[in-house]
Amino acid sequence: MIRFSDVSLTYGSSATPALSGIDLTIEAGESVAVVGPSGSGKTSLLRLMNALIVPTGGRVTVNGLVTNDPSSVWDVRRLVGLIFQNPDNQLVSTTVERELAFGMENLGLVSQTIRERVEETLVRFRLQDLRDRAPHRLSGGEKQRVAIAAVLAMRPACLLLDEPTSLLDAAGRREVWRMLEELRADSSKTVVHVTQFPDEIGLSSRVLVVFEGKVVFDSTPAELFELDEELSRWSLRRPATMDIAHELRDAGYAIPEGIWTLDGLLDALAPGHGGSA
């Protein structure tokens, strides 16, 4: 779906490249987390994936379309939707309903299709009660849910999320998590999720670590969390849940290895607890 071949990126007259030597393939349907310290190049990597920027060396292709071919740009953006860190930068309409329609109008879809998809999207993401509300007056979690729903209504093959929960409070974060969990159940959708929260990494089956403009790790969350000095070098933390599981194990509780979500831990302690994090 997305392929980087020896990609490098240097902004303006900067002396050091923001990214270099990136070789990467993301297959359709994969769910990939991207982590790394601030300034390591995560946002740049995402922007390259939907042709918001083009590489200064090498090439990026999306379903075979080369992103620095100007005639491919709109097709690439149709295939790959991007969610920003701050939903205020994404929401443009006066009501939630119009926000959901906006992107589809830009794609030139017929109004009957747009109406149908708006209804579907309102139901799917439980936004019916918000349909007439002004997006800019919603809570942070609601705003981000609307922003994500509006991009999904355009039916991109791939969704890129750039730290979508970093500006939200704990409740807003949980709202967005619930939505992302649902999304991952849809195995046809490719999801690339940049996050600074260790607990969010385990939601993906593959994790990339970006450090000083390079992809220095590309494997499963389980393998990442087994590392030790690398984690501190890359300024990454283990999920708090893993540390708690570890302590419970030391205290004699039968907690299986490889648990890093609160739900997973609750399930291990009280199977079928039925709640969600």
Q: Residue numbers of the site for ligand ADP (CB under 6 A)?
A: 11-12, 14, 18, 36, 38-44
**Part of the chain binding Mg ion (CB under 5 A), chosen from 6-14, 36-44, 69-77, 118-126:** 36-44
By rule CB under 5 A, what count of residues binds Mg ion?
A: 2
What is the DSSP secondary structure assignment for residue 116, as one 8-state letter? H
HSE-CB at 257 with a 13 A cutoff on CA atoms is: 5
CB of 30 to Mg ion, least distance (A): 21
| Residue 13 interacting partner from Mg ion, ligand ADP, none (CB closer than 5 to 8 Å by kind) | none
Alpha helices in the chain (DSSP H): 42-49, 73-79, 96-106, 111-124, 140-153, 170-185, 198-201, 221-226, 229-233, 240-250, 262-269
**Beta carbon nearer to ligand ADP, 38 or 188:** 38
**Part of the chain binding Mg ion (CB under 5 A), chosen from 43-51, 145-153, 168-176, 219-227:** 43-51
What is the DSSP secondary structure assignment for residue 159, as one 8-state letter? E
| Residue 40 interacting partner from ligand ADP, Mg ion, none (CB closer than 5 to 8 Å by kind) | ligand ADP
Q: Does 43 bind Mg ion (CB under 5 A)?
A: yes
- Cα 268 from Cα 234, distance rounded (Å): 30
**Beta carbon nearer to ligand ADP, 44 or 204:** 44
Judge whether 62 and 76 are in contact, CB under 8 Å: yes
**Beta carbon nearer to ligand ADP, 212 or 267:** 212
- Provide, for the chain, the percentages of residues in helix, strand and coil under a 3-state DSSP scheme, each rounded to the nearest 5: 40, 20, 40
> CA separation (Å) from 89 to 92, 195, 216?
8, 18, 30
What lies within 8 Å, CB to CB, of 238 at 6+ separation is 198, 225, 231, 260
What is the DSSP secondary structure assignment for residue 111, as one 8-state letter? H
**Beta carbon nearer to ligand ADP, 117 or 193:** 193
**Beta carbon nearer to Mg ion, 43 or 67:** 43
| Residue 38 interacting partner from ligand ADP, Mg ion, none (CB closer than 5 to 8 Å by kind) | ligand ADP
| Residue 144 interacting partner from Mg ion, ligand ADP, none (CB closer than 5 to 8 Å by kind) | none
Residues in contact with Mg ion by CB under 5 A are 42-43
